[in-house]
Structure 1
Amino acid sequence: MPGDDATRLGALFDAHAAPVWRYVVHLTGDRAGADDVVQETLLRAWRTPRILAQDPETARSWMYTVARHIVIDEARSARHRREIAVAETPESAVRDATDAIFDALLIEEALGVLSDAHRDVVVRAYFGGLSTVEIAADLGIPEGTVKSRLHYGLRALRLALQERGVTR
């Protein structure tokens, strides 16, 4: 029986796939999408044995109707409405570095207001990525002192940035 099914499926494909495909391309203009519609149409025909038992012309008319409904359903689907077909893949956006440059200049200027001790700790922590333990070891000062300088340095940095128009 499985060999018989394969033979019948092959006959169904041979008899109807090309005309249904041309019909779908005529409806949509989409050659690649037509393949999917034809596959779904033939699958539905395969699942409906009464269609296969009918006259080939009647079966093909049924398949044209099914294909048309599949095309309409696809056009109405939410997925289709969100997709935008383009001829070429868009280039990836390159972020303008101007804002980053101005931000860096603003931060550098605000860091200049801090005392050397506070600036050294803030820069090592936030730009160097060091922990308070690592900063304390590098500078040869107690960890508590690093935490205190970091706290007061960030507070002064926030005030300096607010004076320059940066708000929270």
Structure 2
Amino acid sequence: MVTGRGADELLATLYREHGEALTRYVRHLTRDGHTVEDVVQETMVRAWQRPAVLERTPDSARAWLFTVARNLVVDEARSARNRREHGTEHPVDRAEADRTDAVLDRIVVADALASLSPEHRRVVVDAYWLGHTVPEIARRHDVPEGTAKSRLHYGLRALRLALQERGVTR
């Protein structure tokens, strides 16, 4: 039985003679560069752990290497990790915050706005979403400034009540 430095030399010879063909074979089976490297490396580690493999005839050693590599690929394909995790060639550049709350808030506000009268809804949207002043709102809707201001006041009161009914505010 070969041990120590002799085993390392036999392993290096084994890899030199069969490594390229083994790599092609595993690439054909997996089509994943990272897995190819892992499987070939694990196959060679197993050969190193079994010195008797190193002493086989070249054809016998090659058959053993290809069988071990195929079994490793099959084991990986059957693993729970493989069924649940999926890699990507293009990793995410940055993580994005969960915007679920913001989307839900928009839905609730839009629903509350829809419950307002059209006159109140227009002035509230003009003032708070479009940033218009009371004089600008009055000009846009061709109403006196006092009417625009009154509609804004009562529109905001109705909006607050609609949001309270939806459980948003106290």
TM-score by length of 1: 0.55
Structure 1: runs of 5+ lacking an equivalent: 105-159
Work out the percentage of aligned pairs sharing the same amino acid.
38
Cα distance in structure 2, aligned partners of 1:11 and 1:103: 70
* Aligned match of 1:71: 73
Structure 2: runs of 5+ lacking an equivalent: 110-160
* Aligned match of 2:140: none
Inter-CA distance 27–101: structure 2 relative to 1 (3 Å threshold)? closer
* Aligned match of 1:15: 17
Cα distance in structure 2, aligned partners of 1:162 and 1:54: 80
What's the CA shift for 1:45?
Answer: 1.4
Q: 1:84 aligns to what SS in structure 2?
A: coil
Moved over 6 A (4+): 101-104
* Aligned match of 2:115: none
Q: 1:16 aligns to what SS in structure 2?
A: helix
Q: 1:14 aligns to what SS in structure 2?
A: helix
* Aligned match of 1:56: 58
What's the CA shift for 1:3?
Answer: 3.3
Cα distance in structure 1, aligned partners of 2:108 and 2:50: 66
Confirm or deny: 8 A CA contact 2:7 2:51 kept in the other structure.
Answer: no
Cα distance in structure 1, aligned partners of 2:13 and 2:89: 37
What's the CA shift for 1:34?
Answer: 0.6
* Aligned match of 1:125: none
Q: 2:86 aligns to what SS in structure 1?
A: coil
* Aligned match of 2:7: 5
Q: 2:87 aligns to what SS in structure 1?
A: coil
Inter-CA distance 82–98: structure 2 relative to 1 (3 Å threshold)? closer
TM-score by length of 2: 0.54
Inter-CA distance 38–100: structure 2 relative to 1 (3 Å threshold)? same
Cα distance in structure 2, aligned partners of 1:9 and 1:62: 13
What's the CA shift for 1:101?
Answer: 6.5
Confirm or deny: 8 A CA contact 2:108 2:166 kept in the other structure.
Answer: no
* Aligned match of 2:143: none
* Aligned match of 1:80: 82
How large is the Cα RMSD of the aligned pairs?
3.0
Inter-CA distance 62–98: structure 2 relative to 1 (3 Å threshold)? closer
Please, which moves more after superposition, 83-92 or 63-72? Answer: 83-92
